[in-house]
Amino acid sequence: MNSAVIEILAPRYQIAWYPWAVQYFFMIALAYASLWLALPGLLGARRWKATARYALLGAMTTAIVAPIALLADLHQPLRFWHFYAYFTPWSWMSIGSLMLPPFVFAIIALAWLVWREPMLAWRTRDDMTGLIARIATLGGWQTPRFAVVALALFAAVMSFAIAIYTGSEVAILKGRPLWNTQWLLPFFAATGFIGAAGLVLVLNRFTGARDADTDRNMLMVVVAAAVVTALVALAWALEGIFVEDSSVAAAIQSVRHSAEWRSTAIWSLSIGASMTLVSFLLVWRNGARIWGWIIGLVALHLAWMARWNVLMDVQTVQKQTAGYLEYVVGWGSSGWLGVIGTFGLWIALLLVIDMFVPWKQALDGPADAPAEKTDISAKGVPSHG
Amino acid sequence: MDLARRMFMGQLARLAAGASLVPLATVAEAAINDQPPRRGGDPTKRYAMLIDLRRCIGCQACTVSCHLENDAPLGKFRTIVSQYEVDDPETGDMSTFFLPRLCNHCDNPPCVPVCPVQATYQQEDGIVVVDAERCVGCAYCVQACPYDARFINDKTQTADKCTFCTHRLEAGLLPACVESCVGGARIIGDLNDPESTIARMIAEHRDELQVLQPEKGTLPHVFYLGMDERFVDRPEAFASIWEIRGTDNEELHYEFSGH
């Protein structure tokens, strides 16, 4: 620039999508990626059955919480029925509103089919769990295997639609150059897998069963998804460097002089690289059992932060005026209360299911009282069985 | 922005100002993110605005009258005049540049096809409006507009934007911003009427007219005369107003912050 320009007066253009949007994109990505992690076990892979138990629990709970967060991001949530009264096939968001219910209900139905199998044994109980089992199983019939397979495959097809629509919905927006790239689709999906694998690692640790195969499987998924994420980020950056007038170039230009964006990039890169390296070492050195859940928490953090950076931080880059919005997350419902509330709802849902559903016995899980398994050798580690 | 890029953008802005005048055929394909058919309004007209920046003195009368006319919430604007201090590279003198901003009522409005409930639409006279009864407040259109012309109205919790004061046009009145402009910088009119002031001015200044962010392909219908090319896109400017900080190094906020 060969002359100085000072912006004397311009409005402060506020953000329009609140942290609710981050919660939705985070939860829905966990839901569809967890479903994929559950698929091998659901379809019969023996060493993935324990993984499938956690992944299905993760998919089912996040699939329920995600649309609630989405609804809360509308400024007129009670008008949600307008989506169905005025279907708009040329709008990605409208298409998404048609895809979401079948996806969510397919996952709920799938979990119900899988969980009602061990639940049948609870029908004779005298307590509350027995009453719920008698109602929720809808009769004493055995779950047909083909129904599980068919529903799992249907949910998998719908999960593709969800991954494509959530990515495209944001990627088509020319108004924000940082979003306007098709690389956003694989980026959301790959970081979704990082988060889902992390979720399964954490569930595996804190629900007590602590399955060794699951730790190994999930650490490998973390490594693979992190490598894919890195490749996507690299491809995006290369496009910005080599392709003239690409939106990527505009995006990079728009944050070139921001110290905050630089530190965000450095933080994500260093955490991501460390997580990948340590996951690899844990698989290689058989340390997964003790440290796997910490990787799980880091993976969840990364997947969530990726969405925060993309959805919240990008909104602070002004579109046509100079500088950045100094966005402070409020404590109210469109701020931290929404974030904490979403996670609180999700944990509550987990606890309710853990209380009333014998999900650990599903998919050939250990019979009641899922105590320590035979391959466990570590001593002195508390177990929340 | 380097000189070469700036010159390129300037040329593009001029070309696009020309391109904006070629009417986009009413497209009705259902491909995702394509423009839906226009509806309502007078099909014989195509409203547009020409802003003669040489006449703008940055008094914000348009901003204030628009606020009063349209009851926008405090801190949010259907139109506002951005103000810049620019040094002249040749003389070294400082000068001031005023840029009135409002909805561009584009011929290819990116805000329209994204709307999931068809609450926002383009009338046949080119004016882009929002049906506040139908709007769900998803703010997708706010994100889609490259011109920050849209916002969520805190009072109605729905999307809000400049309508060229269509309610006044229908009553035979000028939009509030045009009526209040002391320098007569804002000219609104019907492009389809070759005798209108705007049509005659566009014919006269065709090569000098520029539009904002032409590379986005939105075909804006607010044309600027006397435009400085550095402001066609997001300017590389020092945002001085946000650098005013209190003793705790926190940015000082508007007194109506929180409304």
Q: Which residues of B touch A245 (CB under 8 A)?
A: 215
Tell which of A82, A90, A331 to mutate to test the B interface (max B CBs under 10 Å).
A90
Q: Say how many C-beta atoms besides its own lie within 10 A of residue B155's C-beta.
A: 12
Determine contact: B115 vs chain A, CB below 8 A.
Answer: yes
Task: Report, as ranges of residue numbers, the positions in chain A whose pLDDT lies below 50.
Answer: 1, 370-383, 385
Residue A97 exposure: Cα atoms within 13 Å on the Cβ side: 25
Residue A155: the pLDDT is: 97
> b/e for A82-95, b at 16 or more Cβ within 10 A?
bbeebebebbbbbb
- Phi/psi at B103 (5° precision): -65, 135
Are A174 and B216 inside 8 Å of each other by CB? yes
Residue B246 has what pLDDT? 74
Residue B117 is predicted with a pLDDT of: 97
Question: Do the Cβ atoms of B1 and A1 come within 8 Å?
Answer: yes
- For B84, the closest of A1, A7, A11 (CB atoms) is A7
Q: Is A362 helix (H, G, I), strand (E, B) or coil?
A: coil
- The three-state DSSP-derived secondary structure of A80-91 is CCHHHHCCCCCC
Using an 8 Å Cβ cutoff, are B186 and B100 in contact?
yes
- Give me the pLDDT at residue A240, please: 83
Q: Which two tokens stand for residue A315?
A: 């909104």
CB A162 within 8 A of CB A28: yes
Backbone torsions φ then ψ of B99, nearest 5 degrees: -130, 100
CA distance A171 to A180: 5
- Provide the domain limits for residue B204: 3-28+44-109+163-241
Which residues in chain A have their CB less than 8 angstroms from residue B211's CB? Answer: none
Contact (Cβ atoms closer than 8 angstroms) between residue A169 and residue A147: no
d(CA A63, CA A32): 8
B89, B118, B147 ranked by CB distance to A88: nearest: B118
Whether the CB-CB separation of A309 and A272 falls below 8 Å is answered with no
- State residue A373's pLDDT score: 45
Q: What is the ipTM of this complex?
A: 0.90
* pLDDT score, position B254: 54
Q: Give the pLDDT score at B75.
A: 86
User: With an 8 Å Cβ cutoff, is B217 touching chain A?
Assistant: yes
- Is the Cβ pair B136, A79 closer than 8 Å? yes
Distances (CA, A) of A31 to A74, A172, A297, B98: 21, 23, 17, 49
Residue A68 to residue A77: CA distance in whole angstroms:
10
Subunit contact B30:A90, Cβ cutoff 8 A = yes
CB neighbours of residue B203 within 10 Å: 10
Q: Are A63 and A103 in contact (CB under 8 A)?
A: yes
In a domain, B132, yes or no: no
**Inter-chain touch B239–A7, beta carbons under 8 Å:** yes
Q: CA-CA distance, A333 to A358, in Å (whole number)? A: 34
Would residue A119 be called left, alpha or beta, if left means φ above 0 and alpha means ψ between -120 and 50 degrees? alpha
DSSP-derived letter for residue A123 is G
Q: Assess if residue B168 is contained within a domain.
A: yes
The SS3 assignment for A23 reads: helix
In a domain, B51, yes or no: yes
Q: In this structure, is residue B88 part of a structural domain?
A: yes
Q: What is the structure's pLDDT at A324?
A: 86
Residues B174, B168: contact at Cβ < 8 Å? yes
Q: Write down the pLDDT at residue B23.
A: 55
Pairing of strands B186-190, B80-87: unpaired
For the stretch B111-141, pLDDT in tens is 999 999 999 999 999 999 999 999 999 999 9
Q: Which residues from chain B sit within 8 angstroms of residue A180, using beta carbons? A: none
B235 and A8 within 8 Å at the Cβ level: the answer is no
CA end-to-end span of chain B:
37
Residue B11 placed within a domain: yes
A336 close to B (CB below 8 A): no
Instruction: Choose the closest CB to A76 out of B82, B86, B137.
Output: B137
List strands edge to edge, sheet with B186-190. Answer: B186-190, B47-52, B222-225
Q: What is the pLDDT of residues B63-98, one digit of tens each?
A: 999 999 999 998 899 999 999 999 877 888 888 999
pLDDT at A3: 66
Query: Domain tally for chain B?
Result: 1
- Hey, how many other C-beta atoms are within 10 angstroms of the C-beta on B243? 11
Q: How far apart are the C-alpha atoms of A238 and B80, rounded to whole Å? A: 38
Residue A32's nearest CA partner among A95, A93, A104 is: A104
Q: In this structure, what DSSP letter does residue A333 have?
A: T
Which residue in B114, B213, B241 is closest to A7 by CB distance?
A: B241
Sheet hosting strand B238-239, strand order edge to edge: B94-101, B80-87, A5-9, B238-239
Q: Is A9 on the interface with B (CB under 8 A)?
A: yes
Give backbone dihedrals phi and psi of B96, rounded to 5 degrees, phi first: -115, 140
Q: Does any domain span residue B155?
A: no
Are residues B76 and B160 in contact, defined by beta-carbon separation less than 8 angstroms?
Answer: yes
Q: Is the pLDDT of residue B2 over 60?
A: no
Task: Evaluate whether residue B253 is within a structural domain.
Answer: no
* Distances in whole angstroms, Cα of residue B6 to Cα of each of A211, A365, B10: 61, 66, 6
The answer to whether residue B91 neighbours chain A at the CB level (below 8 Å) is: no
Q: What's the pLDDT score for residue B243?
A: 67
CB contact under 8 A, A321 and B216: no
Q: pLDDT tens digits for B165-214?
A: 999 999 999 999 999 999 999 999 999 999 999 999 999 999 999 999 99
Cα separation, A148 vs A130, in Å, equals 24
pLDDT value of position A378: 47
Distance CA A31, CA A201 (A): 15
Q: Do B238 and A6 touch (CB under 8 A)?
A: yes
* Per-residue pLDDT at B26: 42
Domains along chain A with CATH numbers: 19-361 (1.20.1630.10)
Q: Would B209 be classed as within a structural domain?
A: yes
Within an 8 Å CB–CB cutoff, is residue A80 touching chain B?
yes
Partner-chain contact A75 B136, CB within 8 Å: yes
First-residue to last-residue Cα distance in chain A: 64
By residue count, chain A amounts to 385
Tens digit of pLDDT for each residue in A2-47?
Answer: 568 899 888 888 899 999 999 999 999 999 999 999 999 999 999 9
* Stretch 49-68 of chain B: residues touching chain A, C-beta under 8 Å: none
- Best residue in B138, B142, B232, B241 to probe A by mutation, most A CBs within 10 Å? B138
**Amino acid found at A165:** Y
- Which residue in the block uniquely carries the two structure tokens 């009553």? B171
Question: In the predicted model, what is the mean pLDDT of residues B16-34?
Answer: 65
Nearest CA in chain A to B157: A75
Smallest CA-to-CA distance from B32 within A168, A167, A297 is with: A168
pLDDT of residue A368: 65
CB distance from A276 to chain B under 8 Å? no
Q: Please name the helix (run of DSSP H) or strand (run of DSSP E) that holds residue B189, with its range, or none.
A: strand B186-190
Residue A5 is nearest to which of B113, B143, B230, comparing CB atoms?
Answer: B230
Whether B51 has a pLDDT exceeding 80, the answer reads yes
How much is the pLDDT for B15? 67
CATH number of the domain encompassing residue B170: 3.30.70.20
